Structure 1
Amino acid sequence: MTTRTAVITGAAGGLGSATARQLLAAGFDIVAVTRDADSALAARQALAPDARDLTVQALHADLIDRDDVRTLTARLRESVERVDVLINNAGAAFPQYAETADGVERTHALNHLAPFQLTHLLLADGLLAADARIINISSDLVTRGRLDADDPDVTGVSWRERFSQLAVYGTAKLAGVLATVALAERLPAGMNAYSANPGVIRTGFSAKSGGLLKAVSSVSGLFAQAPDKAARTPVLLATTTTPPAPNGGFFAKGASATPPAPARDTDLAAAVYERTARLIGVDSLPRTSNGQGLVGPEAPR
């Protein structure tokens, strides 16, 4: 039996590292993606003791930069025969407004645009397995997200004069959930895409983010869970024998959950998907009816 391969972005520590260790235990080869060469080396060394006879590779890319995402795709093409599981985990909640070299707000670039671009480049290259599972890490703060149903801003630049760290991060995550819903309706039969909310995690994410999120974390941190426990949901989505239903669904605490109302708007999901594809410069996929609906809690089988 051929060993399956999982690619995990944001794998330098915290949830990404915990997910990688658990997928190694489940028999996956791992490609850990981190931001720079030093963290990639450290990630590979940290995961190697859990590898046994499996393979651990580490690549690095600054996912805020679209050119780096393209370079990462090329390196994956050289490194693996196929990707069975793609976990788009890398994320950040920046405390102030700033734009990337591509002219988009940083939080949107990393949390929404980069996963969208990487997923579609892997699809275009034929690197995703016929039964691939794409798992986009979401957040409790998706409830803070705000998108204009008539004119959804997928770039984040509309927040320039009214920046709010929690609202911007939540909006980027909301865009990601909506894009995942639309993607599931467009994937080839056999492929599945999910949003996974790991909940509040005891990592350095909030402290590194600074701003209001750091202050909020000092309270919410009292109820935070360890990364190994938080990894339960993405690992379950990646490893269950039968793909969990619904395709395109929102999952939390190891089961299908009901996302916030804006994330259940199918027209908004389609608009976010099409706008993001045009912005990134990738071909949008036609609907295939592969998605199985937006809500309806159902535990993975």
Structure 2
Amino acid sequence: MNTPIAVVTGAAGGLGQATARQLLAAGFDVVAVTRDAASARETLRILEAPARGRTVHALHADLVDRADVRALAGRLRESVGRVDVLVNNAGAAFAHYAETADGTERTHALNHLAPFHLTHLLLADGLFAPGARIVNISSDLVTRGRVDAGDPDVTGLSWRERFSQITVYGTAKLTGLLATTALAARLPAGMHAYSASPGVVRTGFHHKSGGLLKAAAAVGSLFAQTPQKAARTPVLLATAPAAPAPNGGFFAKGAPATAPAPARDAALAAEVYERTARTLGLTALPRR
């Protein structure tokens, strides 16, 4: 029997690395994706030590860059050829407005567009196993997100003149949640997609983000979980013998959770999905 293969982005530390460790312990071979070559080498060294006969690959890509996302998909095709679980964990809450080389706001580029792009490239290449699961890491801050139901912005450019770190991050995550819900209804039979909120995690995420999130970290750290505990929800979604229900659901603390009201709007989810596909020059999957 083939060993299942999991790809985890943002695996250089924190939640991503804890998720990779737990997937290795669960019997997966793991592809750890980090931002640059140096962090990939260090992550490989760290994960190989406790791998216990499992295979670890380490690849690097700057996921705010669409060319790097495309290159990563190509390297996955060459290195493993099949993906049973994709955990789209890489993310950041940037303190100031800036646009990527592709002309999108960078918080949206990393937290929403990159996971969508990588997922659909792997789908187009036929790399997902028939029962594959896609786990997109969400956030409790989706409740702070603001998506215009009449004209949803999937690129973040509308925040140029009114940037707010927490609101923009929450909006990028909310947009991703909507797209994941719509994706689940379009995946081939047997495949599943989920959004997983890890809660407040004791990592360097908030400190590295700067701005209001860094200030909030001092208070939030009193209630924060370890990365190992926070990883239990995405790992459960990836490894449960029977795929958890509902497909496309929002999960927290290892169980289905109630998503914010905008995320439960099926028409809005479909519109966000279609707009995101067009923005990335992808062919949208038809609803099954």
TM-score exceeds 0.5: yes
Deviation by residue 1:143-185 (Cα, 9 ceiling, x = unmatched): 0000000000000000000000000000000000000000000
| Paired AA for residue 19 in structure 1 | T
| Paired AA for residue 244 in structure 1 | P
Q: Which runs of 4+ in 1 moved over 6 A?
A: none
| Paired AA for residue 16 in structure 1 | G
Deviation by residue 1:84-134 (Cα, 9 ceiling, x = unmatched): 000000000000000000000000000000000000000000001110000
Structure 1 length-normalised TM = 0.95
Matched, 1:85 2:89: no
Matched, 1:275 2:275: yes
Distance 1:88 1:168 in 2: 19
The alpha carbon displacement at 1:52 in A equals 1.3
Paired residue secondary structure (2:119): helix
Corresponding position of 1:11: 11
Paired residue secondary structure (2:20): helix
Q: What are structure 2's unaligned runs of at least 5 residues?
A: none
Map 1:222-233 → 2, pairs under 5 A: 222-233=222-233
Distance 2:3 2:191 in 1: 18
- CA-based RMSD: 0.4
| Paired AA for residue 77 in structure 1 | R
Corresponding position of 2:44: 44
Corresponding position of 2:126: 126
Distance 2:38 2:201 in 1: 24
Distance 1:232 1:54 in 2: 20
Matched, 1:185 2:185: yes
Structure 2 length-normalised TM = 1.00
Distance 2:81 2:96 in 1: 40
Matched, 1:157 2:157: yes
Deviation by residue 1:32-91 (Cα, 9 ceiling, x = unmatched): 000000000000000001111110000000000000000000000000020000000000
Distance 2:283 2:79 in 1: 24
Paired residue secondary structure (2:154): coil
Corresponding position of 1:25: 25
| Paired AA for residue 188 in structure 1 | P
Corresponding position of 1:138: 138
Aligned length: 288
Matched, 1:246 2:230: no
| Paired AA for residue 216 in structure 2 | V
Distance 1:190 1:150 in 2: 33
Distance 2:277 2:119 in 1: 11
Distance 2:185 2:81 in 1: 26
Paired residue secondary structure (1:223): coil
Percent of aligned pairs with the same amino acid? 76
Paired residue secondary structure (2:222): helix
Distance 2:81 2:121 in 1: 15
| Paired AA for residue 270 in structure 2 | A
Deviation by residue 1:223-268 (Cα, 9 ceiling, x = unmatched): 0000000000000000000000000000000001110111101011
Corresponding position of 1:298: none
Paired residue secondary structure (2:49): helix
Q: What are structure 1's unaligned runs of at least 5 residues?
A: 289-301
Distance 1:200 1:236 in 2: 18
| Paired AA for residue 198 in structure 1 | P
Distance 1:81 1:51 in 2: 20
Paired residue secondary structure (2:22): helix
Paired residue secondary structure (1:222): coil
Matched, 1:198 2:207: no
Corresponding position of 1:59: 59
